[in-house]
Every structure is written in C-alpha cells, then in structure tokens.
Amino acid sequence: MKWKKQENLPIPILSWCEDIEPSALVQAENLARHPALRYHVALMPDCHCGYGMPIGGVIAAKDAVIPAAVGKDIGCGMVAVETDIPSERLTEMRFRREIQLALKKAIPVGEGGLHKNPQEWEGFERYLDTPGTYEHFVSAIDRRNLGTLGGGNHFIEIQKSDDDFVWLMLHSGSRNLGKRIEEFYQEQAVALCKRYYTPLADPDLAFLPVEEQAGQYYFRDMNFALEYAFENRRRMMQRFKSVFQEFLPEANFVREINIHHNYAALENHFGEDLYIHRKGATSAKTDETGIIPGSMGTASYIVRGLGNVRSFMSCSHGAGRRMSRNEACATLSAADCDAAMRGIVCDRWHPVTRYGKGKKVLDLSEAPLAYKDIDAVIAAEADLVEVQVRLTPLAVVKG
C-alpha cells in the first residue's frame, strides 16, 4: 500500500496508486462519505477517474448495491489459454499476420460487429423462465452480440510467455446488455435516494438497498450479465482455439482462465457479509488465479492472489489509463505509437471523429503510450498478488 487518507472522512482511503489524478481522488473522497459503505475505500495501482467511482476502486457496501460502482460494462473481463506451442513457431511476422486475419474473419469485432443470426444459449431461456425478470434484457441484439468482441479497449492477442510458450488472450464483457441494465437501475436508484432524502456527496453514487425489490432485481440482473459476459468470452475463445489449430494442428491447450472485473459480490470480510464492488478491479483471494493485462504492445501477467484483507482481497484489472481518449488522440503522434508496436502484428491506426471535435483524427486512444506502465503497476501491488507468468504480445486484434 502506498498511502492512507482519513482526515475529515468517515472511513479512510487506502491507496496502492501513488500518484492519483485529482478527479479520481475527489471520487474516492465522495465514496468515503457514502452512507452505505463500511471499513475503507481501496484504490488499486491502475486507478483513474471513472463515472461516479474511480476505475480501479473496491468498496464494501452493507445491505446495498450501487449500480455506478459496478459500471456499464458489467462483467467485463479476461480469458487466457496456455498452449504447448513453443513461441519460436511464430517467429515469422507473415505467419502471425495470417492468423490475425483469420481471427478477424472468425470473430466479429468493433461496436457494430454482430453475428448475422441470433445465437442459441440456454442462459437466455433460464433467465426468462425466472419469475419477475424483464424480457427487454433478452433482446434480438443481445442474441446476436453473444460471442462478439465489441470496441473500445477490448482486444484479442497472441502472446508468448517468458518461458517461450504461446498463450491466447482476449478481453470483453457483456456488450450492450450490461449498459442497459446499469442505466435501467441507476435511474431507479437516483429516484429512490431522492424519495428518502438520502444525502450523497455525488448523486451518481445512488444506491439500492437489498431489502428493496429494485435492489434484489439489480443484483439478479447484474449476475445474469456476468453469466452472459463469461459465455461471451468462452465462445470467442473457442473460435480462437479453432483458428489457432487450423494453422498449428498439433496445438494442445494446457489450461484456461476466465475471470470478471466490474461486478458486485456478496462476500464475508472482517466477519461481516458485505457487497464488495470491484470496478476495474479483480478478485485476488488466497491462491486465486488472476489475469492482469497491459496495453497493446506491453506485457500482461498471470498472477496468484495473496488474499490481502486491506484490498478486500482484490488487485488491479490492468495497466489503467494515464490519458483520456480525447487527450491521447490530441497529443500522441502516430510515429511514436508505431514505434511502441514495433515487432507486433497489428492494424494501422484509423481515423475517427472525437467527441466535440467535428473532424477526423487518428484514433490513438488505445496505444501503449495512453496507458500507465504495467510493470510499475504490478510492482505496486506486490502485497496483493504474486506473478506466475509474464506474457508479451506477438499479434493483436482490437475492437
């Protein structure tokens, strides 16, 4: 842990992030004044400003859930697969490019990337058969989105370990489903807090008591989004493995790890049942296997949790942004971003219209230079996790 702040706060802030941006610190202080929170606010080393609550934050709520403390991308997470293929088999850039192009054909990517036909999954029917559930959370777009990557910071990577074996990794979540669930219940939480005149430092941190039906339904539907996100990653990884074996038929898959960040769970900490909210944070219970990705062009890590109670047994979920998307596009140069990706198969930067600009600029928002130093992030949480495997990228597909 790097520092602790408690002066003039009902509960302290414990931070593993040494230099936190002022806006994220304000959000953490607002959380420390929240009437439903207990013990402390924990900030992971990848912490940066989010919506209502910092990304890289972990909190413990008593008998309440806070939609904004989970966020819109419910169940966003990672899946990684270890193979028995030596990394020397992928030395040739041309060979890696062929696999990358095949992956882009096999797995729909980008915000508009959908399957042409609805996907079958028993989870849809199980949810709809549950009394009190909402049909609008199983829409046609949800059925077509299942098994697709999405956009933003979601990615597919072929990586090599420091002991020179190939790993497969991807990052995605519940797609549009999680966003709609968060917005639906956030509106109810705001109305409920206004009705009971509950004082909040930030109205975005409106909460739902679990004794209220809305609180119970949010927790149910959030968990449905977690199941959807897990299945979404599982399906894409199944296609990933199939494509990989088309090029390397002898490949065997040693183990598969599939985990969430962005969720709330009822857990026992300090002898008390609490709703632990991890927004841009990963569970790191004792001996639990986790994945902490870097940015495209930098290392990722497979880690073992140490069960640190001060972090509510959590760790970072990645490198964490050091620049907003608009700032990255406005200040970074394509030449510097190209240099950061040297030796890695990836697509070129494409033009986009950034918010409020009205003109096209190169989208450099996901370049390595827009993110914190992943190695410094890992070093800052040495009391939260132990590194098991270090991975570096060979080829990248971005959403």
Closest among 46, 166, 163, 30 to 96, alpha carbons compared: 166
3 state DSSP class of 220: helix
Closest among 264, 187, 270, 260 to 227, alpha carbons compared: 260
Q: Which residues, at least 6 apart from 46, have a Cβ–Cβ distance to it below 8 Å?
A: 17, 55, 56, 280, 316, 317, 318, 319, 320, 372, 377
Q: Which one of the listed residues 40, 48, 154, 317 is annotated catalytic?
A: 317
Q: Is the Cβ–Cβ distance between 187 and 218 less than 8 Å?
A: no
Closest among 97, 101, 26 to 57, alpha carbons compared: 26
- Angle, helices 213-247 vs 93-106, to 10°: value is 140
Q: Which amino acid is at 181?
A: I
- Distance from C-alpha of 323 to C-alpha of 330, rounded to nearest angstrom: 10
Q: Which amino acid is at 179?
A: K
Q: Is 171 a catalytic residue?
A: no
- Distance from C-alpha of 42 to C-alpha of 44, rounded to nearest angstrom: 7
- Distance from C-alpha of 286 to C-alpha of 303, rounded to nearest angstrom: 11
Residue 343, Cβ density class (10 Å: 0-12 exposed, 13-18 middle, ≥19 buried):
exposed
Question: Which residues are part of the catalytic machinery?
Answer: 317
